[in-house]
Structure 1
Amino acid sequence: MPLSERGIAEHDSLTPMKEREFRLLRELVQEHTGIWLQDGKRTMLAARLAKPVRRLGLPGFQSYYALLRESAEDSPEFVEFVNAITTNKTSFFRERHHFDYLAQKIVPEIKAASMRGGRKQIRVWSAACSTGEEVYSIALTLLDAVAEPGWWLEVVGSDIDTGVLETAQRAIYPAECLESIDELQRQRYFLQGKDSRAGQVKLKAEVTRMVELRRVNLMDERWAADGPFDVIFFRNALIYFQQDVQERFLRRMTGMLRPGGYLFIGNSEQIPWMHDRLEPLSQTMYRLRGSG
């Protein structure tokens, strides 16, 4: 959920963001989302917040900060603020080795346990799901890997950004997003858009009905995501939090894994301080310790 160059807008009509304003807004961002903005992010933050400042008819960032301080977290102004400072980069089957491991190792493991009288259920949580491509990649993987009736397959997708969750809920994407998906999966799981929807695809109900999308702010005391889960994907988000916040989130998440459950993180992320609880399988795949 980083800030990026995408979306930098003209904001010459506003007084440039002062260092003090940046620090106040940075503290507000961290307090409510956990995201830490480094010192060099002032220009990017100003660009991202210029649109809501203008829309509200405010003279500058100090006034915007004062308004946010008086606003409830669920107010339209505060939700827009949170959406403005988050960026979501994702794609179908990004970091494919995680999906291969889910299909080739984890699903057979759970199916073998079910033959010994275990449950016929698989639950996966995508904890920073963005616009939904990760969620639906998990769903396609489970549908193909299980391929048997009588199983309950559920994928929970969550994000703090309401805008990306709306995109995920629609489950409609540009057709070029399917480059990483093989032809058989395209034919089985996607509908091709026609007329005004030409060039777009939509996930079929077979896929979307196994997905549940929820807004979750990981800083909240209560999360709208109920364990236990067999696998948690928390990828490419950790790097935007400081280590104490990372550890707080991860220890809470691992408490929501089933015995023997798995955690996947992003390729650029490392969590060596979690090895007391998680067994490293590779740099980015971990299994809950003490669970056989």
Structure 2
Amino acid sequence: MNEREFLFTDRNFERIRSLIYAHAGISLSAAKVDMVYSRIARRLRANGLKSFDDYLDHLDANPEEWQSFINSLTTNLTSFFREAHHFPVLAQVALDARRQGRAPVMLWSSACSTGEEPYSMAMTMIDAFESWRPPVKILATDLDTNVVQQAARGIYPLERIEKMPEADVKRFFLRGKGPHKGMARVRPEVSALVRFQALNLLEDRWPMKGPFDAIFCRNVMIYFDKQTQAKILARFHPLLRQDGRLFVGHSESLTHVAELFRLQGKTVYAPTVCN
């Protein structure tokens, strides 16, 4: 491998691949060598270590380092109203659920990253029900504890919201002033609809019981192999109502679990009723 600040061997890379797969289900391709080096090298510097061998020994001996290791290797690419075609569908799902007498309507953003997705869901609910207090609860979870904390704060640089219609920005955000100029905070009425918590989807037990009217798990399955995908999707299935919907990313398909989910629209799935 190329000359770097720290010695990084093929054996180091393979061990890191094995560890992140075992602990987070993330399947790293051989093309991710440079990404792994750059991200884990930060942990070496943070811990004052001189080699990847030293860091991996440190990881074994210090359980508190595991979360930082996992956080370093997760990807948090997101934006407000990403894959916009999903949100009118979500609005209809929620309105249909309420017409059937359900309150609150239960939604789950299962890989919420820095919060743009669940806040977009909340804004959609406010518009759909034409109320700042819609009968909705949104659970937002993510593997990365750092981004969960950031999401809960609900504060973003203005460039993160510049693609939204100006009228929506004015309704749903408060612009910072003085030392906070250039930033915007999600309005309290929006953040009140969302509850954030850290969750590794590979954990043996999930604290939520459902049933959910909709689950968003978008652009997550691409990081898992088929076996891990099937395992997680099999756990989503009983948590969704029979008329609920599972939303996935634009490059993701659930054809390998057709016994669990059937396509209902562009990257929108309904649970298959199991006999």
TM-score (norm 1): 0.88
Q: Structure 2 CA distance, aligned partners of 1:268 and 1:149?
A: 33
| C-alpha separation in 2, matches of 1:282 and 1:59 | 52
Deviation at 1:136, TM superposition (A): 0.2
Match of 2:66 among 78, 81, 86: 78
Hey, what does 2:97 align to over in structure 1?
110
**Distance between the aligned counterparts of 2:162 and 2:116, measured in 1?**
12
Please report how far the alpha carbon of residue 112 of structure 1 lies from its aligned counterpart in structure 2 after TM superposition: 2.5
Contact preservation (8 Å) 1:123, 1:154: yes
| 1:274 pairs with one of 250, 257, 262 | 257
**For residue 218 of structure 1, what is the aligned residue in structure 2?**
201
CA distance in 1, matches of 2:251, 2:23: 25
Q: Which moved more, 1:43-52 or 1:141-150?
A: 141-150
Determine the C-alpha separation between the residues in 2 that align with 1:40 and 1:149. 46
Match in the other structure for 1:174: 157
Q: Could you tell me which of 189, 200, 218 is aligned with 1:235?
A: 218
Q: In the alignment, which of 155, 166, 170 is matched to residue 183 of structure 1?
A: 166
State the 1:283 CA deviation. 4.1
Query: Is residue 139 from structure 1 mapped to residue 122 from structure 2 by the alignment?
Result: yes
Question: Structure 2: which 5+ residue stretches go unaligned?
Answer: none
Matched, 1:68 2:59: yes
Match of 2:37?
46
DSSP 3-state at the match of 1:186: helix
Amino acid in the other structure paired with 2:96: E
Root mean square deviation, CA, Å:
1.9
Tell whether the 8 Å contact from 2:245 to 2:270 is kept in structure 1 after alignment: yes
- The code of the aligned residue for 2:72 comes to A
Question: Deviation at 1:151?
Answer: 4.8
Would the aligned equivalents of 1:270 and 1:283 in 2 still touch at CA under 8 Å? no
Q: Number of aligned residue pairs: give it.
A: 273
Match of 1:200 among 179, 183, 187: 183
For 1:79, give the aligned amino acid: Q
Q: Among residues 39, 48, 71, which one is paired with 1:57 in the alignment?
A: 48
Moved more, 249-258 or 263-272: 249-258
- 1:287 shift after superposition: 1.0
Aligned equivalents of 2:45 and 2:109: distance in 1?
34
Q: For residues 179-200 of structure 1, what are the alpha-carbon distances to aligned partners after superposition, in whole Å with 9 as ceiling and x for unaligned?
A: 3432332222211110111111
Call closer, same or farther: CA 1:188–1:158 in 2, change over 3 Å.
same
1:198-232 deviations in whole A, cap 9, x for unaligned? 11110111111111001001111112333111100
1:18 aligns with 2:17: no
Rounded Cα–Cα distance in structure 2 between residues aligned with 1:119 and 1:155: 14
**Partner in structure 2 of residue 265 of structure 1:** 248
SS at match of 1:255: helix
**Distance in 1 (alpha carbons) for counterparts of 2:76 and 2:133:** 35
Using structure 2 for the length normalisation, give the TM-score: 0.94
What SS does the corresponding residue of 2:159 show, helix, strand or coil? helix
Contact 1:279/1:288 (8 A) holds in 2: yes
Amino acid in the other structure paired with 2:49: L
Supply the AA of the counterpart residue of 1:42: V
The alpha-carbon deviation at position 155 of structure 1 amounts to 0.9
What runs of 5+ residues in structure 1 fail to find an aligned partner? 1-10
Contact 1:260–1:289 (8 Å) recurs in 2: no
Percent of residue pairs bearing the same amino acid type = 37
Distance in 1 separating the partners of 2:161 and 2:107: 22
